[in-house]
Amino acid sequence: MDTITVSLGKRSYPIHIGSGLLADSNTLKQSTSAAELLIVSNETVAPLYLARVEAAFAGRRLKSLILRDGEEYKNLESFTRIIDELIEATYHRDACIVALGGGVVGDLAGYAAASYQRGIDFLQLPTTLLAQVDSSVGGKTAVNHAKAKNMIGAFHQPIAVLADTDALATLPPRELAAGLAEVIKYGLIQDLEFFIWLEEHLPALLQQDPAALLYAIRRCCEIKADIVAEDEREQGRRALLNLGHTFGHAIEALGGYRKWLHGEAIAIGMQMAAEASEQLGWIDPTDAKRVRSLLERAGLPTSATKLSAGEILHRMPLDKKADSQGLRLVLLKHLGHAVVVPAPDTPVLESAIARGLAAG
């Protein structure tokens, strides 16, 4: 088991990464001392892992809530179901919510934990690659609005993250690929050597080679832990983690949170960010092609079919990085070095989106 610490003073917490963590009752028990636990999972994950997690916490006051699976259910209705469960069970302020699932479950459980009695503990047990490398770490919790992604939420750090790499064996290929989009993002924003490593080791990741997966997850978590420790509430450097997300969140919303998985929409968005960076003269055409090639080799889409540049541009201002000065984007100065900048002029942006759409 590898352990990385997110250093936030008294709120610091460990990220444990390794094989068999969901079957390790001692590690699970030690992750929280709460006497009252609510496990939140979904209809896909619960049949696979819920029983073993419940067994690990036997002897404590324990309830489980199973939600429907899918990004379209990351909404206020599901959030209310969790709050209702806590209230009906008269759980107290020293209770803990256990998030067993992917990013949707983690975001919902975390937002409920942030809100219930003004904040209770929550524990992250991420079961997808995307959640293990990104959404389970850093304390961003949220639900979606019909018109905009993650617009309702709070910063609320977990008490620990236990990323069991064995859980990835049950992922459908499409879900694995969606997670690889976030893995690729980390190489693009900060670590060119990691991006090159991904170009060379992508076949091993797709074949779920244990050593390759462990290294990729650990490297992503190292980068994110370092960024979050410096900028917990996204006032500066943490915004770099949103490469492709302003485009991607607009695409997700336009698809009703059903057409594209989050990682798929982010892959399309990263390609559009690469196109915009190329148009600004920051990266070469060969670099933009390298981005597209790696995404496509990972089995990810790089174009949002049946959408127009105008539709995407119209939705993009509904983004958390927009402020009173206007929309900001994360773009690439070069591979391995991202920057946050005011959005380029509309013709440049529209052309970059159109090129991204056409190239698919």
Residue 334 forms beta bridges with which residues? 337
Catalytic site residue from 81, 156, 238, 290: 238
Catalytic site residue from 36, 54, 234, 275: 234
User: Which two three-digit tokens encode residue 275?
Assistant: 């196109």
Sign, CA torsion 161/164/170/171: positive
Catalytic site residue from 185, 219, 249, 320: 249
Catalytic site residue from 10, 26, 118, 306: 118
Sign, CA torsion 315/258/185/321: positive
Closest CA to 148 of 240, 260, 251: 251
Q: Is 81 a catalytic residue?
A: no
At 7, which amino acid appears?
A: S
Catalytic site residue from 262, 290, 328, 355: 262
Distance CA 280, CA 139 (A): 33
Distance CA 93, CA 101 (A): 23
Catalytic site residue from 36, 85, 175, 182: 182
How far, in whole angstroms, is CA 133 from its chain's centroid? 7
Q: Is 350 a catalytic residue?
A: no
Catalytic site residue from 42, 144, 150, 242: 242
Catalytic site residue from 81, 140, 328, 355: 140
- The SS3 of residue 12 is coil
Closest CA to 98 of 138, 46, 151: 46
- H-run or E-run covering 354: helix 346-359
Catalytic site residue from 224, 290, 315, 328: 224
Distance CA 76, CA 144 (A): 8
Residue 15 forms beta bridges with which residues? 4, 161
Q: Is 118 a catalytic residue?
A: yes
Catalytic site residue from 185, 245, 320, 328: 245
Instruction: Provide the phi-psi class of 27: left if phi over 0, else alpha when psi is between -120 and 50, else beta.
Output: alpha
Q: Is 16 a catalytic residue?
A: no
61 neighbors 85 (Cβ within 8 angstroms):
no
Q: Is 249 a catalytic residue?
A: yes
User: Which two three-digit tokens encode residue 119?
Assistant: 């904040």
User: Which two three-digit tokens encode residue 50?
Assistant: 């819920």
Q: Is 68 a catalytic residue?
A: no
Contacts of 203 (CB under 8 A, 6+ apart): none
Q: Is 182 a catalytic residue?
A: yes
Q: Is 26 a catalytic residue?
A: no
Helices 210-230/173-190 angle, 10° precision: 50
Active site residues: 118, 140, 182, 224, 234, 238, 242, 245, 249, 262
